[in-house]
Amino acid sequence: MKCLVFAALLVTACGGSQEPAAAKPKPLMFDRWSPAQASSYDVFVAAEGSVVLMANRISRDDGATWAALDPRVGTLGRVAIQGTTVLLYAPQLGLARWELATDQITAVADAPAFAGERPGGAIR
């Protein structure tokens, strides 16, 4: 009997069968292991100075704010930036000049033949 009482006292003193209160799980925090990748909706086209051109948007302040491209431009493909002027090819306009300071877009008259779309046939 003394053994049984001693065992009961020992179990009570040590905590026995009582399980500790479940601790609230900590949320997992993942570290980025690579830079953000461009998607099919956000493709880098060109950059110079603080101007960054993506396929469908433009930033004039190093990517801090973004604006949609002018609908006449469509989706950018071939682009060259020279200071505040963007030279581009737009299917609706052909070869065009875009003045970033005034947002004026003008078609370039007498554009050379290589500035247009290439024919769909194979090179022979």
Over residues 74-116, the pLDDT tens digits come to 878 788 998 889 998 877 788 889 999 998 998 887 756 555 5
pTM: 0.55
Instruction: Judge whether residue 26 has pLDDT over 80.
Output: yes
Task: Report the C-alpha gap between 45 and 38 in whole angstroms.
Answer: 11
Residue 74 and residue 105 in contact, taking contact as beta carbons nearer than 8 Å:
no
Instruction: Give 3-state DSSP helix, strand, coil % of the chain, rounded to 5.
Output: 15, 30, 60
Helices (H), the chain: 2-14
The 3-class SS string of 18-44 reads CCCCCCCCCCCCCCCCCCCCCECCECE
- Bridge partners of 44? 54
